[in-house]
Amino acid sequence: MNATKAQAVLLLAAAAACVYVQTVFPWGRRLTGVQPDLLPLVMVYAALLGDAGLVACLAVTGGLMFDSLSMNPLGTSVLSLLVVGLGVHSLRDVLMREALHAKCLLGALASTASALTGLIALMMSGQRPVLGWDLARAVAGQGMWGAVLAPAVFWLLGRLDRAFNHPRISPGSFRPDREIKRGRN
């Protein structure tokens, strides 16, 4: 199933809104000590909905927006979002997308994979992140936030998708090129 232009615009706007919410409202950090990352959840939704081009476009756009407002080197989040998005996209035919436990598991795995891939990208770029129990707690917290927020993000994006995209009407059984016989014969 390919995404329409309206769905692509909706997902790009959702990525921009997620970046804004993550940078302006530190509610998750105050609550648990770990800031939730919403972009991997949007990436999972986009990977289940659209094609690989949409996933790559969303990863580049969302990652660059996030990196421009964080202390990460530019492009670090692009790699982690691309790995998550293309990984889910390659397995989307075998995933149970409607089950609640599958959404929670996908959110937890995507958030954890995004955090670990971002850490590897930071280490490859020459940065020296502090490795220890605090980092392990932060990665586990990202996974927990991903599991908790994934059903809500999927529900919200599904509602917005239904609000802005009308279902296609089937053409029906009438063919305009058929011959209609009239009369008694």
Residues 166-182 have a mean pLDDT of 71
Please check whether residue 179 lies inside any domain of the structure: no
Please check whether residue 175 lies inside any domain of the structure: no
Residue 151's pLDDT band (boundaries 50, 70, 90)? very high
More confident residue, 27 or 68: 68
Residues 103-130 have a mean pLDDT of 90
Percent of the chain whose predicted confidence (pLDDT) is above 70: 93
Q: How far apart are the first and last CA of the chain?
A: 47
Please check whether residue 185 lies inside any domain of the structure: no
Domain containing 65 equals: 5-164
Please check whether residue 176 lies inside any domain of the structure: no
State residue 3's pLDDT score.
65
State residue 78's pLDDT score.
93
Tell me the C-alpha distance between 185 and 169, whole Å.
35
Please check whether residue 180 lies inside any domain of the structure: no
Phi then psi dihedrals of residue 128, to 5 deg: -120, 80
DSSP readout, the chain?
-PPPHHHHHHHHHHHHHHHHHHHH--HHHHHHSS----HHHHHHHHHHHS-HHHHHHHHHHHHHHHHHTSSSPTTHHHHHHHHHHHHHHHTTTTS-SS-HHHHHHHHHHHHHHHHHHHHHHHHHTT--PPPSHHHHHHHHHHHHHHHHHHHHHHHHHHHHHHHHSPPPPP--S--TT-----S--
Residue with tokens 């994979």: 113
Domain tally, the chain:
1
State residue 164's pLDDT score.
84
Residues 6+ apart with CB under 8 A from 151: 100, 103, 104, 107
Q: Output the pTM of the full model.
A: 0.85
Please check whether residue 174 lies inside any domain of the structure: no
Please check whether residue 133 lies inside any domain of the structure: yes
Residues 37-51 have a mean pLDDT of 92
User: Exposed, middle or buried, 154 (CB in 10 Å: 0-12/13-18/19+)?
Assistant: buried
Under 8 Å between Cβ of 42 and 53: no
pLDDT tens digits, 45-104: 999 988 899 999 999 999 999 999 888 888 889 999 999 999 999 998 888 878 899 999
Please check whether residue 173 lies inside any domain of the structure: no
Residue 169's pLDDT band (boundaries 50, 70, 90)? confident
For residue 156, what is the domain's CATH number? 1.10.1760
